Chain A
């Protein structure tokens, strides 16, 4: 199947393909810069493969090997567990590359990110403003270029950020943030409203940009796992596993089966406490504090269970390159007992929520994201599945022990807050059952493979976090990280909120926001 597919693509674009490399389930095709848009458009619209990631690398140092230039990678997720990566070269002296955003809206932020971090210019981009750097960042400084020192402290310069303007009689703006009223992460929201209904929302983020991708490049591999855990605090396990899997793939190591099962259990525990927390957030914002207290109690129960099982309420420190650090076999009975009580309580909670007309009134038809928008922006995770996007990395590109365990992927079409709540509720039941299955099938073996030397190479690592798919692309050279590209699900989903709020009233914004469960730190990095 995958060979046929590659043949079809090669036949279609033979004269534009310059180079081809196959490594595991990743198929790299280097193509002519000018043909990239056409080929990506074909993969996306004709073959229907979602564009999951665009990133750049600085390979100018390879000058002597005649390959020295920047490269841009477009990653597509295909059927039968295959990834096609289209690569183009961009020279420093002509830093332009054709924009893809007109054809594939999901390319928008990636291209602006590349512009800010590498100084390559997406020619014809519909919104070429800065994304990550603020207006006070001096021109001509690009942190992910190899000749940029991570400790540089650029001076602040004068500049202005221009917001989109909506004009008309009675239209006014409400600016919110970066410091919010609640205990949440910082970001700026600018609403244009006429009375209560929202006419336009512009989000402005990257307040929490910490230079994480650059930091990876000066870190040892073992320490880098800890950094991955701290990219988006409540998705620690999913980030750590994705990073470890990429490195293990480069090393050509198949970790012990018991470690795979333990990772699966950790990932599902993470989904449980996140989903409970999200449902609690939605209940809070529809003014249903009883339900919120109930859901928050469940979340706390899972976090305490996490601590008993792993020593960390947020499941940190468990994953390591080659497997996991601690066995959890002796905690089996305790976990099973706790799962039963969680299941019972959660069923009660959902009955309460569903039967409450005041909740239904606030969440049904609120914050709709159409299937078309969700597909165009590549909305992932529960938010995507609530808008009819049938994607789940656990099933489509299986990792850890998922191909051995039976589970369903709920998909709903409605696209409103109600649908997103229900998708999470279904997923809670699936997670509970997955943990039970994994515990009963826990194979007896080592829990960690010692890896002596990691060869040079690059690979993708991925997991389905509670928010959706996380992708890592890691390049190792001489045992060091040459480049680590991280894509958190929120980087895809944030733009969807600008559509979800349209024609909704301002007081419903918090509910819509909660139902999308977006990470700022994972997005800004």
Chain B
């Protein structure tokens, strides 16, 4: 199976879930919290004409205020901590946080130093971890599928409370 076929199959499944849940696109705000940029290279690859993730209802937005989900990369550096927290606080509930890449999951090769904190979950609850350094585009799509299932659970919980 070619990469294109894999993407097509996973993308269709993802699309059905998103449509059923939102009736619109899933909006994602990407935050680089100190990555090496390779994770960004792969997120950007998802928008190239070969993957073209937008056609499956994945929309990368410019502001956290428009986002359903934060996709965070990097080990969270001391110098990005505040900006990441501000972005998190600006995202409306119910929100999802996805840690993408080994760095975001647990600090990766940068670990814990005077300048690197060792992962996103030190600062906020993380819903889905996507390992890989960087994760391949297929892995990112799979991670998004898991995340969409989670948001469904979150919405139910909110409804029950209400």
Contacts and interface: CB of A to CB of B under 8 A. Distances in A.
A215 B77 CA distance: 14
Interface in B102-153: 108-116, 133-134, 136
A461 to B, nearest CB: 19
B43 interface: yes
Of the listed residues B3, B44, B78, the one surrounded by the most CB atoms of chain A closer than 10 A to its CB is B78
B38 to A, nearest CB: 3
B37 A210 contact: no
Given A210-B77, A300-B50, A313-B136, A215 B111 contact: yes
A214 B113 contact: yes
B38 A207 contact: no
A299 B155 CA distance: 39
Contact of B109 (A182, A226, A297): A226
A293 B133 CA distance: 26
Contacts of B110: 210-212, 215, 230
A182 B80 contact: no
A208 B74 contact: yes
Interface string A201-212: 000001111111
Contacts of B136: 313
B79 A209 contact: yes
Given A184-B40, A231-B36, A207 B45 contact: no
A208 B77 contact: yes
Interface string B19-45: 000000000001111111111111111
A184 B77 contact: no
Contact of B112 (A151, A227, A234): A151
A234 B38 contact: yes
B115 A209 contact: yes
Contacts of A212: 110
A479 interface: no
Contacts of B108: 230
Interface string A496-522: 000000000000000000000001110
Contacts of B134: 233, 314
Contacts of A293: 48-49
B104 to A, nearest CB: 13
A376 interface: no
Contact of A208 (B32, B38, B49, B109): B32
A314 B137 CA distance: 12
B32 A233 contact: no
B116 A211 contact: yes
Contacts of A234: 37-38, 41
Contacts of B34: 186, 207-210, 521
B113 A233 contact: no
A521 B80 contact: no
A140 B3 CA distance: 53
Nearest to B107: A210
Contact of B37 (A150, A182, A303, A519): A519
5 contacts: A150-B114, A185-B35, A208-B79, A233-B36, A296-B49
The 7 nearest A-B residue pairs measured at CB: A233-B38, A181-B62, A211-B113, A233-B37, A233-B36, A211-B115, A296-B48
Interface of B: 3, 30-45, 48-51, 60, 62-64, 74-75, 77-80, 83, 87, 108-116, 133-134, 136
Given A185-B37, A208-B79, A210-B116, 15 more contacts: A148-B114, A151-B112, A186-B80, A186-B83, A209-B115, A212-B110, A214-B113, A215-B113, A233-B38, A233-B39, A296-B49, A297-B48, A299-B45, A314-B38, A521-B34
Interface of A: 134, 143, 148, 150-154, 178-179, 181-186, 206-212, 214-215, 223, 226-227, 230-234, 236, 277, 293, 296-297, 299-300, 303-304, 313-314, 316, 519-521
